[in-house]
């Protein structure tokens, strides 16, 4: 499905990003993977099939680091056919506990990074003028409210707004921009989140997913579709991958 496409996957050192990198490599893509933790990023790298792939560590909290990463990809790898931006953080905080830094960290990792990755992709010679796909990892939290989740929810709603406007701005140069909105997926993020809630709250959340919690591979398959030419007429939209959570 992704034969010989060159794709950047951020957040590839863990969870959904790692599963996407692994699935994409099986589908014939050549990958550039990035994350902050070098050891876990290398574990992902050695688990990939096929082509020679590239791993570059970067902290996407700073615009300078994003620019360096995108410059380095342009020099070392060349034109990108796609980006799946999985790097992100979740803050589970009731309003009383929320500090300004939590808000800034969340918006920096989840929204600012996405904006500037696309800004530095948009330069001539960095994207495929015949068709490039950008996929952001949003969440059902962007459209379905849950307590103690307001900052994370706001950041993901901002990401969806960003994707729509970028889709309009970039369609004329054949860059598509879409979001995936997963429900609860069994990753480290869910593990961390479950430490902040009671067993009863976790069980209620599970019940809200008619098909149960998802596997990272469920998101990887949807990311494969949005990154492939099968979705060449789809831009500015959000695909829910949530076991039925948002159908309530
Ligand atoms: N898991 C879920 O239930 C769920 C549901 C809906 C949406 N999502 C979204 O899906 C995406 C992936 O989630 P996940 O569950 O796979 O999370 P995860 O296992 O915690 O992985 C998060 C990834 O993001 C990277 N990252 C975080 N902040 C970064 C930064 N400032 N710079 C560079 N990399 C950074 C981490 O890198 P290091 O580990 O190397 O630091 C890691 O690779 C996130 O955007 C999340 O909001 C997840």
Task: Count the residues in the chain.
Answer: 248
User: Does 85 contact ligand 1 (Cβ within 6 A)?
Assistant: no
Q: Where are the beta strands (DSSP E) in the chain?
A: 6-10, 30-35, 54-57, 82-85, 132-137, 175-182, 238-241
Which pTM value belongs to this model? 0.98
Q: Which of the residues 152, 213, 240, 245 is marked catalytic?
A: 152
Backbone angles phi and psi of 133, in degrees to 5: -115, 130
* pLDDT tens digits for range 134-169: 999 999 999 999 999 999 999 999 999 999 999 999
Alpha carbon nearest to ligand 1 atom 38, residue: 36
pLDDT tens-digit profile of 60-86?
999 999 999 999 999 999 999 999 999
Active site residue 152: yes
**What residue spans define the domains of the chain?**
6-239
CATH top-level class of 6-239: alpha beta
Q: What share of the chain is helix, strand, coil (3-state, %, to 5)?
A: 50, 15, 35
Instruction: Report how far apart the first and last C-alpha atoms of the chain are (Å, whole number).
Output: 32
State the number of CA atoms in the 13 A half-sphere of 36 facing the CB: 10
Strand partners, 214: 185
In angstroms, what is the span from residue 106 Cα to ligand 1's centroid? 11
DSSP letter string over 65-90? HHHHHHHHHHHHT--BSEEEE-----
**Ligand 1 contact, 65 CB (< 6 A):** no
Q: Which atom of ligand 1 is nearest to the CA of 59?
A: 32
């Amino acid at each position: 499905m992704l034969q010989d496409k060159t794709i950047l996957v951020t957040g590839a050192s863990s969870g959904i990003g790692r599963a996407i990198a692994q699935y994409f490599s099986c589908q014939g893509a050549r990958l550039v993977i990035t994350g902050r933790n070098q050891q876990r990023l290398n574990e992902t790298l050695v688990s990939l099939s096929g082509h020679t792939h590239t791993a570059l560590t970067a902290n996407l909290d700073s615009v300078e680091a994003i620019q360096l990463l995108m410059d380095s990809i342009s020099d070392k790898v060349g034109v990108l056919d796609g980006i799946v931006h999985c790097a992100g953080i979740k803050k589970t905080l009731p309003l009383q506990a929320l500090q300004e830094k939590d808000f800034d960290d969340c918006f920096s990792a989840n929204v600012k990074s996405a904006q500037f990755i696309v800004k530095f992709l948009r330069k001539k010679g960095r994207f495929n003028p015949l068709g490039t796909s950008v996929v952001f990892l949003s969440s059902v939290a962007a459209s379905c409210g849950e307590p103690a989740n307001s900052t994370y929810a706001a950041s993901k709603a901002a990401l969806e707004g960003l994707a729509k406007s970028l889709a309009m701005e970039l369609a004329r140069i054949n860059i598509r921009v879409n979001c995936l909105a997963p429900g609860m997926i069994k990753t480290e993020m869910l593990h961390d989140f479950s430490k902040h809630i009671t067993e009863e709250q976790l069980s209620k959340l599970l019940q809200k997913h008619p098909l149960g919690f998802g596997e990272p591979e469920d998101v990887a398959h949807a990311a494969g579709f949005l990154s492939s030419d099968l979705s060449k007429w789809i831009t500015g939209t959000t695909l829910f991958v949530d076991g039925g959570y948002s159908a309530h």
